[in-house]
Amino acid sequence: MKQIPNLFTLLNLFFGCCAILFALQTEAIDIYQGEDLVTSFNLPEKIYYASICIGIAAVIDFLDGFIARLLKATGEMGKQLDSLSDVVSFGVAPAMILYQFLRIAYMRQENGLEVNIGWLLPAFIFACAGAWRLARFGIDNSQELSFKGVPIPAAGCVVASLPLISYYNYYAGAVNDVIFNKWFLYGLILVLSYLMVSRLPMISLKFKDLSIKNNFPKIILLIIGLAATILLKWLAVPAVFIAYIIVSLAFKNKPA
C-alpha cells in the first residue's frame, strides 16, 4: 500500500516522457504565403498531445500527494521521486514546446529556415530554472504550507497551454501573432524562470481544513479560475497563473 503513491509519481514521469516525445515528433511544420502576402502555418497536432500529456501529469502530481497523505505513506523516497518526475514533466517537456515555438517564430521570418540553433537554446533555461527550484525545495523543510518561488508545475502548465491556445484560437490571428513572436517567447522564458528561482511567497493550494477563513485566498483563486475558464477558454491558464501570483503576494502575511 505504501508504494501506491510512488506508482502515481512514476505515472507522472511516464506522461512527462510522452509529452517530450510528442513535442519532438512534430513532422513537417507547413508554412506558406497567401495572395495577400500574409504568412500562415499549420501547427502539427502532436504538439497539442504534448500539452495534454503535461496536463494529465499535473493532475497525477496533485493526486499522488493527496493519496500519500490519505494512506499515510509519505517519506523521503516519495519526495525525491516526485522532484525527479516533476523536472521531466514540468521542466524538460515544456522546454521542448518552447524550443519548437521559437523554431516556428523564426520560420515565420524571412530566411527563418537558416536560423542558428543558438537562438533556440534559451528554451532550455526554463528547464534549468525548474531543476534549481526543485533542488532548493528538496532541502527546505519550511515550504509545507507555502512556497518560495512559483512551483514548477504551475510554470510548466502555462507553457503547456500555448499550443492549445494557438489551436483553439478564438481571437482571429491576434493571439498567434503574440505567442509566435520570438521576443514574447524570450520574455516568457525569462519571466517564468525568474519566478521559479525567486523567493517570492506563493500560497500552497493544499487545504488544511474546510474553514473559509483559512482558505480564503484559495477560494478567491477558485472563483477566478471558474470565471476565466468560462470567459477565456484556454487563455484562462495564463490568466489564472497571473491571478495566482497577485493573490499570493496580496495575502503573503496571511496564513497559507
Domain positions in the chain are: 4-199, 202-256
Closest by CA to 192, choosing from 145, 157, 234, 235, is 157
For the ranges 2-16, 40-54, 162-176, 219-233, the maximum mean pLDDT occurs at 219-233
**Residue 85 in 3-state DSSP?**
helix
pLDDT for res 115: 81
pLDDT for res 255: 44
Architecture of domain 4-199: Up-down Bundle (1.20)
pLDDT greater than 60 at residue 59: yes
**What average pLDDT score do residues 149-153 get?**
94
The identity of residue 89, as a single letter, is: S
Q: How confident is the model at residue 18 (pLDDT cuts 50, 70, 90)?
A: very high
pLDDT greater than 50 at residue 60: yes
Burial of 34 (C-beta count, 10 Å sphere; 0-12/13-18/19+) = exposed
pTM: 0.88
Strand partners, 39: 33
**Of 16-30, 48-62, 68-82, 230-244, minimum mean pLDDT range:** 68-82
pLDDT for res 209: 60
**What average pLDDT score do residues 209-235 get?**
85
**Residue 36 in 3-state DSSP?**
coil
**What average pLDDT score do residues 11-21 get?**
95
pLDDT greater than 90 at residue 54: yes
Is residue 63 a contact partner of residue 74, using CB atoms and an 8 Å limit? no
C-alpha cell at 58: 499535473
Closest by CA to 149, choosing from 94, 101, 76, 199, is 199
